[in-house]
Structure 1
Amino acid sequence: MARRKRTSQVLEKAVRRAASINSINPTLNLGNGLTLPAFSTLIETMRTRENLYNTALSNLDKLYQEMLQTERELADMAEHMLLGVATQYGKSSVEYGMAGGVPKNQRRKGLRGESPVSNLQQPSFIADVNGNGSKNGNQNGNKAATTS
């Protein structure tokens, strides 16, 4: 997604104001450096800087897209390099492990139909909720209320 370019409402307002003041007197001088030519110069400076900023954003977007493309190419080549090592030395070789792969003979193998969680011991709070180890047959572990 392209970065959002900047527009200045202050610049737009200043351009309108300069046009209005120009209709009063093109060489208006209000003292203390407040002249229409100085105002127009500052407006142009702002316009130039805003254009430079927006151009820089466009260039940055272009560089970012080029970087992402190169990153995809690098990932693809890294995968091909590992597959090349596997082809030349085998997936169970030490060289394959040195290249960053997991040698075939070192991979963990799970039993079919068994989830990885079922290999773990069940925590005690789950046993209590399931009714295992509860007191007086009550599933939440509290003593059953007795009524007379």
Structure 2
Amino acid sequence: MSRRKRSSPVLQKAVRRAAGMDSIDPNLNVGNGLTLPAFSTLIETMRTKENAYNSALSNLDKLYSEMLQTERELGDMTEHMLMGVGTRYGKSSVEYGMAGGVPKSQRRRRLRGESSTSSSQQPSFVLSVDGNGNGKKQAVTS
């Protein structure tokens, strides 16, 4: 998603006012250094800076897209490198662990239905049966 370009409402207002003042007198001078040529110069300076800012945003968007593409390529190559070490030395080797993989001998097998949290955090369930033979499951924490 590209960044939103800036459009200055102050600049637009100043351009409209300068056009109106230009119709009064192209060399309007209201005193204290407030002249229409100085006003027009400041308008052009602002327009130049706004254009430079919007161009910089476009360049930043391009750099960001290129960086994301390179990041995806790096992630793929990282995975391929680990698979290569696993193929060359075996997934149970010390080298595989040194490359960042988890050797098969250190993997923990999960039982079907077991979540990723440790069993010490899981509550135990006890089935109790009342006198009528109705069963009820109750959580027991230890």
Is the shorter-chain TM-score for this pair beyond 0.5, marking a shared fold? yes
CA distance in 2, matches of 1:131, 1:62: 56
Q: Is the 8 A contact 2:123 2:139 kept in 1?
A: no
Q: How many angstroms does 1:76 deviate by?
A: 0.4
Matches within 5 A, 1:98-117: 98-115=98-115
- Name the amino acid aligned to 1:94: V
AA aligned opposite 2:94: V
Query: What is the match of residue 72 of structure 2?
Result: 72
Q: Does 1:52 align with 2:52?
A: yes
Q: Distance in 2 between matches of 1:131 and 1:90?
A: 43
In structure 2, what is the equivalent of residue 87 of structure 1?
87
Alignment partners' CA distance in 1, 2:44 and 2:17? 14
Percent identity over the alignment? 75
Q: Which runs of 5+ in 2 are unaligned?
A: 125-137
Give the CA deviation at 1:35. Answer: 0.3
The CA distance in 2 between the partners of 1:66 and 1:48, in whole Å, is 27
Match of 2:130 in 1: none
CA distance 1:106–1:131, shift in 2 (3 Å): closer
What code does the residue aligned with 2:6 have? Answer: R
2:123 maps to amino acid = Q
The 1:43/1:131 distance shift into structure 2, 3 A limit, reads closer
Question: What is the match of residue 122 of structure 1?
Answer: 123
> Structure 1's 55 and 76: CA in aligned 2 closer, same or farther, altered over 3 A?
same
Matched residue type, 1:23:
S
Q: Which 5+ residue runs of structure 1 have no aligned equivalent?
A: 124-129, 133-148
Give the aligned partner of residue 4 of structure 2: 4
Q: What is the match of residue 63 of structure 1? A: 63
Q: Distance in 2 between matches of 1:93 and 1:118?
A: 26
1:115–1:36 CA distance, 2 compared to 1 (3 A) = closer
Letter in 2 for 1:90: G
Q: Which residue of 2 aligns with 1:136?
A: none
